A and B are shown apart, each in its own frame.
Chain A
């Protein structure tokens, strides 16, 4: 049997591909519906080329050899000689499943950067705003600013507008002129222009004018300040403006969830933009025998690339041959993913946005001044020591939100660069989701 973890584009494509030769597949996902974060929905998936989702859902639900296990959060994976035991929580109970092969497709979450007020109610990630609208049918607020960087801001802003929100502003810290740095990637992905036109029409329909080289520099008492920024992300002193809004949805690209592959021991590396990802071969195989990894955890690249990687992983894990056109399509999408990283970089001077009193670690309420003092007064020379002194990154989220930021802040304060070892170490967690001792004790084991 093959266990596929995650039912977003990569996991769905993997399960469907593996089932083509009748291989037994268990598809485990924490949500109550198929689709992951990207195809989040209530009744049916909406948005650009969303018909692909319905087709894939139908195939996966109809395939006799696929067992779909929903609302199950995998919290650990153990090895038992040649088998993997996947432990998960479902409806408050602990259960497990064993298989010879694993396909990990656990996706990604929004990256956040701290600024004064980012911890106030109303400040959220674009993913949260999207999840409320698409998954819950609830508007996060009436007046919304969408900001950060990257093309994901477009579906979020237009989706909110479609649902009835007033988009007070759409601000990208980078300029789309940077696409001119990657002519080859654009030429090999001409279909992306259709997607751009799709969003350009929606922006015009809702009267949204994107503005560039700008960032939300503070959010206090529903007042959002938008500052013009330099190319190193330092704030310009002139040209800032303020708006009264209910919500600022600010996101800085994505961080893959590498926890489960890390638990299994799959080799990781640091991508060109500093993100920890998994090393995989041409068949999406990880460094561990019988473990394949597909989607954002092998490099942030979006749904198109995830679908191809998932299909290749599914075919490979089930012993089917992989058609050459699949590989060349994946290559083209990888070029596009690299161009995305080049077009929407995050520059170090974001570190000048938080003030001394700004929260850096939301869980443990650690402020920037405490991290600075751990370096200047207590002599912390690396982020691990700074985290031990301040408890930054040691709360319930296990550092998923702040760990990378703390590493980069400490490196900035000590005039060092964050080493790849530290980037990898700070991206991994001992368990995937908190589990109580009671739940462990009640389990079947």
Chain B
């Protein structure tokens, strides 16, 4: 069984270790800006890291507002900054 997971972030392919969160995988691959804010279009990244602050929310397989610090990356997952 492969220990590697492949998913896409805004169309780019990302590889990470099995068990890592989406946010961890993106930070490890130097994608610090996880999304831009609704009003100011300001870049945001991981902040509290434990699911409290909702700053790291992304769109996972079409479902909005998913906390990337909590959700494990899985194969063929489609992660986007905005829908």
Which residues of A are in contact with B by a Cβ distance under 8 Å?
30, 32, 37, 42, 109-110, 112, 119-125, 127-132, 135-140, 257, 359, 362-363, 365, 395-397, 400-401, 434
B38 at interface (Cβ–Cβ under 8 A)?
yes
Name the interface residues of B12-32: CB closer than 8 Å to any CB of A.
17, 19-21, 24-25, 27-28, 32
Q: 5 closest A-B pairs (Cβ-Cβ)?
A: A128-B49, A121-B45, A136-B24, A396-B54, A131-B49
Instruction: List 16 A-B pairs, Cβ < 8 Å.
Output: A109-B48, A119-B44, A119-B55, A127-B48, A127-B50, A128-B46, A128-B69, A129-B49, A130-B49, A131-B69, A135-B24, A136-B28, A137-B17, A362-B44, A365-B39, A396-B57
* Chain A residues, CB < 8 A from B38: 365
* Chain B residues, CB < 8 A from A128: 46-50, 69
CA distance A119 to B45 in the complex (A): 8
* Chain B residues, CB < 8 A from A365: 37-40, 42
* Chain A residues, CB < 8 A from B42: 119-120, 359, 365
* Chain A residues, CB < 8 A from B43: 120-121
Of A42, A120, A257, A400, which is within 8 A of B53 by CB? Answer: A400
CA distance A365 to B40 in the complex (A): 8
Asked if residues A109 and B46 are in contact (CB atoms below 8 Å), the reply is no
CA distance A124 to B32 in the complex (A): 12
**10 further contact pairs, Cβ within 8 A, besides A121-B32, A136-B28, A396-B65:** A30-B51, A110-B48, A112-B48, A119-B42, A124-B47, A125-B49, A128-B48, A137-B24, A139-B28, A363-B55
* Chain B residues, CB < 8 A from A119: 42, 44, 47, 55
* Chain B residues, CB < 8 A from A138: 20, 24-25, 27-28
| A123-B47 in contact given A136-B21, A365-B42 (Cβ < 8 Å) | yes
> Which residue of chain B has the shortest Cβ distance to A128 in the bound complex?
B49
Of B24, B34, B53, B70, which is within 8 A of A132 by CB? Answer: B24
> Which residue of chain A has the shortest Cβ distance to B19 in the bound complex?
A42
Asked if residues A401 and B24 are in contact (CB atoms below 8 Å), the reply is no
* Chain A residues, CB < 8 A from B21: 135-136
